Structure 1
């Protein structure tokens, strides 16, 4: 009887061990089956947080340096516009890209020479009754002397605000402006573009120069020409596209000069 009991006890222990082993093997197989197969998978690192933009330029003493030298005539339009380019003195750029009067002048020259810029008026003259234009066309030439028709100035936001506000134009230290024969270009936006305006920085720079030059040529602000259509250059596109698509040039590739209803500003 004792031998049978020993044999029964031994058999029971063996059965228990086999059951536990099978259970553990089954659990391991189930866990392995539930694990995703990452063979050949490349684990991408988490995207890095973009660095904050550099602090805005400070300083600016309200005096201006004139870009030396002149330039060739740009375009063949009938009315020649002599423009002088200037940069505010005393600007501390910090970590921002530093601009000089010569740098700014070179960029203005290139913008005015762009194929869809104001010089295309030589091939597609502009007629616009509200501003008294009849087959108008323009060419441009940079000068460094006092014989200019318009001066294009790049300045800190504070200086732009002060000079524009002095003639009744509150640009909220954000926008650029034109008064008389002066175009004031806001340095903050020149460096960073306009928040929410879906164009690259180079296109933004074309837009602001073309827009402010358009004011000098006699145009006031315009409304959108229709949903989905390219906005007139004289729209305040950086504030509200009004359903239009961004357009940073006065002319379209087919020579059309988009013109919407005027808005007094």
Structure 2
């Protein structure tokens, strides 16, 4: 879903992944005060705007050429009600699972990624979760109002629904985390979809379009339209093919 105009990409790939892209929306901050009541769908509307960091960390996962250190955080003060409680440790375990999955971004070690529109050539990544300040990117699970406010501050309208990525921060919208999307509830591994998509933005990818048929690229905005593709939660197919499509400005 384009919201920030960007120049047309060049055709010639470079030998290394680009620096992280400008802010993108994929898919309100009540500083102090009481959390807002849940929305009509039962999703808690807001927490207190501060975040708890998941303790500990993981060994390095994968053998790609570039190490990505990530930290996982969950907003404090969320009135969970009847919803499952996603503590920082539980959320970190879920993110770790997605990162380490066979068809996740670590598969790039065996199948390096080249994507000309974003000048990415022969790229591969390995990952490690950390809990200190030495992270490359942090993933924050946050309520819709908190996501809206933090993303709006960098010019992104997330509309109470979408996630976004800016700088070294990925904001995962609690509404999507709890509910998924029509046709793919959270219970069908939509978590993998949103984590892989947002991590893809951090790795340097813009949005992609459906190539016409088959599994959707993970960088396609599948939450909005499929355009002939089928839902897909992973960057790679089982045989190691990186699923890609035409460039779409993010």
Range of TM-score over shorter length = 0.7 to 0.9
Decide which of 144, 151, 165 is 2:152's aligned counterpart: 165
Count of equivalent residues = 211
Instruction: Give the alignment partner of residue 215 of structure 1, picking from 198, 201, 217.
Output: 201
Residue 81 (structure 1) aligned with residue 68 (structure 2) = yes
Superposed, which structure 2 residues align to 1:236-255 within 5 Å? Answer: 236-255=221-240
Match of 1:261 among 220, 223, 246: 246
TM-score (norm 1): 0.77
1 or 2 for the larger relative contact order (CA 8 Å, sep ≥6)?
2
Q: Is the 8 A contact 1:61 1:88 kept in 2?
A: yes
Report if aligned partners of 2:178, 2:186 keep a CA contact under 8 Å in 1: no
1:231 matched to which residue of 2? 216
Shift of the alpha carbon at 1:134?
1.6
Rounded to whole Å, the distance in 2 between the matches of 1:54 and 1:163 is 22
TM-score, normalised with respect to structure 2: 0.82
Cα distance between partner residues in 2 of 1:232 and 1:55: 31
Report how far residue 132 of structure 1 moved. Answer: 2.0
- Kept after mapping to 2: 8 A contact 1:54/1:95: no
Kindly report which structure 2 residues correspond to 1:10-21, keeping only aligned pairs within 5 A, or say none: none
- Aligned match of 1:185: 172
Shift of 1:69: 0.8
The match for 1:18 is none
1:197 positional shift: 3.5
CA spacing shift, 1:98–1:200, aligned 2, 3 Å = closer
Q: Secondary structure at the match of 1:92?
A: coil
Question: Matches of 1:115 and 1:59 in 2, distance apart?
Answer: 34
Tell me what 2:162 maps to: 175
Unpaired runs of at least 5, structure 1: 1-52
